[in-house]
């Protein structure tokens, strides 16, 4: 039984010894270092500066996804411009009624069951995003600490 423990310990410690190879011995440094990024976000949308009587109902959400390409502008590659492309979807649930009167003018009022069968209104937007960032960082191709 002691022989099996010896074999297991030998295999374990031999792996530790062979695992201690320096990073500079096995990899080359990337001279074209960039920090491209994918982004995803989920938001809860709130209505600001509401008229009296207007309230949100339900869950007003937003979803955003995109990619930002890093374009360094100096030789150290620690200053860059980030330019990207993304899509966004937002919804706002509230009790605001938007309608036209007899003269085709737009009117705003609060949804009321005695006037209309509707009790809530959902306003949605779908957007194309083009983010532009100025990036100044301390990370390098070998050290990712910020």
Q: How many residues does the chain have?
A: 146
Residue 5's pLDDT is what? Answer: 60
Query: Looking at residue 14, what is its pLDDT?
Result: 56
What's the pLDDT at 94?
Answer: 87
Residue 77: count of CB within 10 angstroms of its CB: 19
Q: Checking DSSP bridges between strand 106-110 and strand 37-44, what pairing results, if any?
A: unpaired
What is the pTM assigned to this prediction?
0.62
For 46, phi then psi, to 5°, come to -115, 140
Tens-level pLDDT at each residue, the chain (146 residues)? 556 666 665 655 555 555 445 555 556 666 777 888 999 999 998 888 877 888 887 788 999 999 999 999 988 888 999 999 999 999 988 888 877 878 888 877 788 777 777 777 888 999 999 999 998 888 777 776 65
| Neighbouring C-beta atoms of residue 72, cutoff 10 Å | 17
pLDDT of residue 6: 66
What confidence score (pLDDT) does residue 53 get? 80
Partner residues linked to 82 by β-bridges: 70, 133
CA-nearest of 67, 79, 72, 78 to 131 is 67
Coil, strand, or helix at residue 126? Answer: strand
* Cα 33 from Cα 73, distance rounded (Å): 12
């Amino acid at each position: 039984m002691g022989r099996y423990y010896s074999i297991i310990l030998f295999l374990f410690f031999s792996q530790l010894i062979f695992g201690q190879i320096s990073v500079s011995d096995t990899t080359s440094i990337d001279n074209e270092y960039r920090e491209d990024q994918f982004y995803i976000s989920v938001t809860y949308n709130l209505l600001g500066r509401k008229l009296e009587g207007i309230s949100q109902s339900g869950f007003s959400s937003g979803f955003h996804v995109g990619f930002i390409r890093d374009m360094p502008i100096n030789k150290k590659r620690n200053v860059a411009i980030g330019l990207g492309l993304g899509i966004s979807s937002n919804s706002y649930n509230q009790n605001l009624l938007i309608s036209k009167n007899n003269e085709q003018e737009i009117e705003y009022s609060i949804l009321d069951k005695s006037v209309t069968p509707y009790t809530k209104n959902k306003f949605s937007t779908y957007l194309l995003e083009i983010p532009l960032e100025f990036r100044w960082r301390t990370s390098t191709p070998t050290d990712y600490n910020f």
